[in-house]
Amino acid sequence: MAKVKVVTDSTSDVSPALAQELGITVVPNHLLLGEDRYLDGVDITADEFIARLGKMPGPVETQPPSVEELRELYTNLCQDAEGVISIHISAKLSDTCKNANEAKEIVRDRCRVIVVDTQLASMGVGFIVQAAARAANEGATLDDVARLVRGMLPQTHILFFAENSEYLQRGGRLGKAAAGGPLINVKPLLRLESGEIFPLERVRTRAKALERLYEFVADFPKIDQMAILYSTTQNEAENLAKRIDGVFPKDRIYIGKYGPVLGAHLGLAAMAVVVYEGEE
């Protein structure tokens, strides 16, 4: 049994099967759809959420795991472990890290917890969580796992585009540089920088947006892991992977759906690429 327990939130998009295999604890975020409350990935799937998203008249409210949920989780995990490393979505996009740090302080006399703000999202967090779990399973100490995680952060990059900026802006997730009205007639190309979403370019067509994702990947001299994420356009994701094959083997590219919480802020038909360069 690993001496170190690895925790993440459901925005990391780690699959249930992989979480079980590696011993990762995924704490769900909350989704409020009208009068209905759901736990992300527990009682609503990505497909079920997408089917409802297009019918919602206003923004979907998302909430992070509560301080009490995290406190209880840390307490339980520490009963048979050296400590916990809790790895989460950017603190500028969610209060998950804030709540995790509050829970950490409550249990500090009984349980050692290290909270990591990755300044990333989705599989950017997911790749790091998987590496942490593998190290923990090989017997690494809590400090060793934390050192590994922090070393991966600056080597992990995310670029994505949305069908338009409507969902991002009404959810308040665009950075200050993106102030202004919704970009309805363009596909905003966006990048996570220092944990915040900023626009990189505005393109008119999906073909051009997909081209930019390819160019982003092709510019890296070295890639250790990469992912393509989509919600409703699996064929486009698979075609992009085939094109990238000359840069990075397509059979090593993770292709998957981003989850409901991210879907609430990206909307329908968004796509993303995540690149982990590896060690220097």
What are the chain's domains?
4-28+63-153 (3.40.50.10170), 155-276 (3.30.1180.10)
> 101 and 18 in contact (C-beta within 8 Å)?
no
Of 197 and 150, the one with more pLDDT:
150
What's the whole-number mean pLDDT along residues 95-102? 98
Instruction: Report pLDDT digits (tens) over 1-57.
Output: 679 999 999 999 999 999 999 999 999 999 888 788 889 888 888 788 888 877 776
| Amino acid letter for position 185 | N
Contact call for residues 62 and 261 (beta carbons, < 8 A): yes
Give CA angle at 106 (105, 108), nearest 5°.
60
Measured on CA atoms in the order 205, 170, 121, 17, is the torsion positive or negative? negative
Do 253 and 244 touch, CB atoms closer than 8 A?
yes
Out of 107-111, 256-260, 272-276, pick the least confident: 256-260
172: confidence class by pLDDT, cuts 50, 70, 90 = low
Q: Is the pLDDT of residue 182 over 60?
A: no
Decide: 1 and 71 in contact? Cβ < 8 Å.
no
Which has the closest alpha carbon to 213: 266, 255, 273, 158? 273
| The pLDDT of residue 261 | 80
Q: What Å distances lie between residue 4 and 26, 126, 192, CA to CA?
A: 15, 17, 29
pLDDT beyond 50 at 177: no
Q: What is the pLDDT of residue 164?
A: 66
* Residue 202 pLDDT > 80: yes
**Pairwise CA distance, residues 254 & 86, whole Å:** 23
* Residue 175: per-residue pLDDT: 47
By the 8 A CB rule, do 113 and 106 touch?
Answer: no
Query: How far apart, in whole angstroms, are the C-alpha atoms of residue 242 and residue 235?
Result: 11
Q: Give the three-state DSSP class for 207.
A: helix
**What's 40's DSSP letter?**
B
